[in-house]
């Protein structure tokens, strides 16, 4: 990467930029443009960029600096253009959670309502699942599409879920890897610019952000989550993308499954008009926001779930990417059942505990290059507020490698609570707030 020639324009010095932010100064547009470009080309060393990232984490950035940083990352690569499509576009981004399979039913549902969904997704890391890992459990399905294939599928099917190409915000890919190993992942300016640089470069007309809050989310605190949402909505709006954010609860995992193939099966249930109530509620809420952003709020997505057209769009979307929507999904070779310890009410189910258990069973990865097991994961047979009976299944753990059960069970220990029969349970709100 370092073989490219330096761009024309003002030249800066990395140490000068680092010192400015270290001393709580405001970086100029020129400094930001130069630093991001020089780092992407290899002209600024990892240790110098690490130092600047830490200064940003500690001292923050104002709205103009964040917008400039985002713009510099967009400028490092290509921009996609969907203006040739016969329908408007809308996309959704989730900050990640446990059992968060919403993209799978959401994309075909919105497509069935007449809006194209160009969904560039990622893989799971740690306890949060990855959309591409889930879809790759479908026999034959492929994540890698060229820009031409993506555009053709958006026109013919209306929805595509695929991996982002290397040409989209390459600065972000390099910066993200560095943040991961330097303790600077949590800086809100860096999180916001990382997400929004890719979404703006993607070229969607409307964007809905699902900012998760709670134990199973990256953001544990509502105020920090709201701050992140406000920064991202401002970035999108300033770039001409109609952007809104929903703050949604991730203290409890979504639905009844966390894994890859088992989440696909649950998503298909939703598309068939069934599925867990919370998954349906959030899918419809996000669909309505996407349709409103694209100017199609005259369509009720609930009707498209009921009449089967969302399922038809799903089958076309999977088939277009080489998948067989009728093929049996992979099933893990081994299962372990955890029974309810007593009669009563499931009073608590901690999202992080469930996510860690699914990860330890093989559904997730520790490093980007690690493989995942398609059939691994956790099924829970009750949600908070449901009555349970002693000795009946509460969880079923799935894996191909039974030596993983012990550590998965350790993750679940203390992650749930059964209260006495007749105990009152007050459910929390799934959708906490709306920013936009």
Q: pLDDT by residue (tens digit) across 149-185? A: 999 999 999 999 999 888 889 999 999 889 988 999 8
d(CA 212, CA 430): 10
Could you say which of 93, 123, 199, 288 is catalytic? 93
Catalytic, 172? Answer yes
- What per-residue string of b and e applies to 319-352 under the rule 16 or more CB within 10 Å gives b? ebbebebeeebbebebebebebeeebbbeebbbb
Looking at the domain assignment, is residue 236 inside a domain? yes
CATH number of the structural domain spanning residue 306: 3.40.1030.10
339 domain residue, yes or no: yes
**The dihedral of CA 65, 70, 73, 74: what is its sign?**
negative
Compute CA 398 distance to the chain's CA centroid, rounded to the nearest angstrom: 23
Tell me, yes or no, whether 371 and 258 share the same domain.
no
For residues 312 and 405, state if they share a domain.
no
What is the strand order of the sheet 416-419 is part of?
A: 387-388, 344-349, 416-419
Q: Are residues 21 and 152 in the same domain?
A: no
CATH code for position 411: 3.90.1170.30
pTM value is 0.94
Distance (Å, rounded) from C-alpha 310 to C-alpha 293?
19
Residues 266 and 385 both lie in one domain: no
Q: With 50 as the cut, is the pLDDT of residue 5 above it?
A: no
pLDDT in tens, 335-382: 999 999 999 999 999 999 999 999 999 998 877 778 899 999 999 999
179 is catalytic: yes
User: Are 54 and 27 found together in one domain?
Assistant: yes
Count how many residues are written for the chain. Answer: 436
Out of 21, 101, 134, 198, pick the active-site residue: 198
Number of domains in the chain: 3
DSSP string, 373-412: -TT-EEEES--TT-EE-TTSEEEEEEES-GGGHHHHHHHH
Domain that holds residue 147: 90-167+175-320
Judge whether 42 lies within some domain: yes
198 tagged catalytic: yes
Query: What are 286-318's pLDDT values in tens digits?
Result: 999 999 999 999 999 999 999 999 999 999 999
Q: Are residues 153 and 250 in the same domain?
A: yes
Catalytic annotation present for 93: yes
DSSP 420: P
- Are 361 and 373 in contact by the 8 Å Cβ rule? The answer is yes
pLDDT at 371: 87
Span 223-243, pLDDT tens digits: 999 999 999 999 999 999 999
- Is 309 buried (19+), middle (13-18) or exposed (0-12) by CB count in 10 A? middle
Return the pLDDT at 6. Answer: 46
Exactly one of 121, 193, 194, 353 is catalytic; which is it? 194
- Whether 230 and 373 share a structural domain: no
Catalytic residue among 172, 210, 278, 350: 172
Phi, psi of 256 (to 5 degrees): -130, 10
Residues 110 and 196 in one domain: yes
Q: Active site residue: 21, 92, 134, 179, which one? A: 179
Question: How do residues 248-273 score in pLDDT, each as one tens digit?
Answer: 999 999 999 999 999 999 999 999 99
């Amino acid at each position: 990467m370092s073989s490219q020639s330096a761009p024309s324009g003002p030249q800066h010095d990395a140490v000068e930029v680092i010192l400015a932010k270290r001393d709580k100064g405001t970086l100029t547009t020129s400094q930001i443009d130069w630093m991001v470009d020089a780092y992407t080309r290899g002209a600024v060393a990892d240790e110098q960029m690490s130092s600047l990232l830490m200064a940003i984490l500690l001292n923050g950035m104002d709205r103009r600096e964040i917008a400039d940083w985002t713009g510099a990352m967009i400028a490092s690569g290509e921009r996609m253009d969907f203006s040739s499509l016969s329908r408007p576009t809308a996309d959704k981004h989730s900050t990640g959670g446990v059992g968060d399979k919403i993209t799978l039913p959401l994309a075909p549902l919105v497509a069935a309502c007449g809006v194209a969904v160009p969904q560039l997704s990622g893989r799971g890391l740690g306890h949060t699942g990855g959309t591409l890992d889930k879809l790759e459990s479908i026999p034959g399905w492929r994540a890698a599409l060229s820009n031409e294939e993506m555009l053709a599928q958006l026109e013919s099917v209306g929805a595509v879920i695929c991996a982002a190409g290397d040409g989209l915000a390459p600065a972000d890919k390099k910066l993200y890897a560095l943040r991961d190993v330097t303790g600077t992942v949590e800086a809100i300016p860096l999180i916001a610019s990382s997400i929004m640089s890719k979404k703006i470069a993607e070229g969607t007309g409307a964007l809905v952000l699902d900012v998760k809050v709670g134990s199973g989310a990256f953001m544990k605190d509502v105020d920090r989550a709201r701050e992140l949402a406000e920064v991202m909505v401002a970035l999108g709006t300033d770039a001409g993308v109609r952007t809104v954010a929903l703050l949604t609860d991730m203290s409890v995992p979504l639905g009844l499954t966390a894994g890859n193939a088992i989440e696909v099966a649950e998503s298909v249930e939703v598309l068939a008009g069934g599925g867990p109530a919370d998954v349906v509620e959030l899918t419809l809420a996000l669909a309505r926001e996407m349709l409103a952003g694209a100017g199609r709020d005259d369509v009720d997505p609930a009707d498209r779930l009921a009449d089967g057209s969302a399922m038809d769009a799903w089958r076309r979307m999977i088939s277009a990417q080489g998948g067989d929507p009728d093929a049996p999904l992979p099933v893990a070779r081994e299962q372990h059942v955890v029974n309810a310890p007593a009669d009563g009410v499931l009073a608590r189910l901690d999202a992080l505990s469930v996510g860690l258990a699914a990860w330890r069973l093989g559904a997730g990865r520790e490093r980007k290059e690690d493989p995942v097991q398609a059939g691994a994961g956790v099924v829970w047979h009750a949600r908070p507020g449901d009555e349970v009976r002693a000795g009946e299944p509460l969880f079923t753990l799935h894996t191909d490698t039974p030596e993983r059960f012990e550590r998965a069970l350790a993750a679940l220990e203390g992650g749930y609570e059964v209260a006495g029969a007749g105990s009152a349970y007050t459910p929390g709100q799934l959708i906490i707030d709306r920013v936009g």
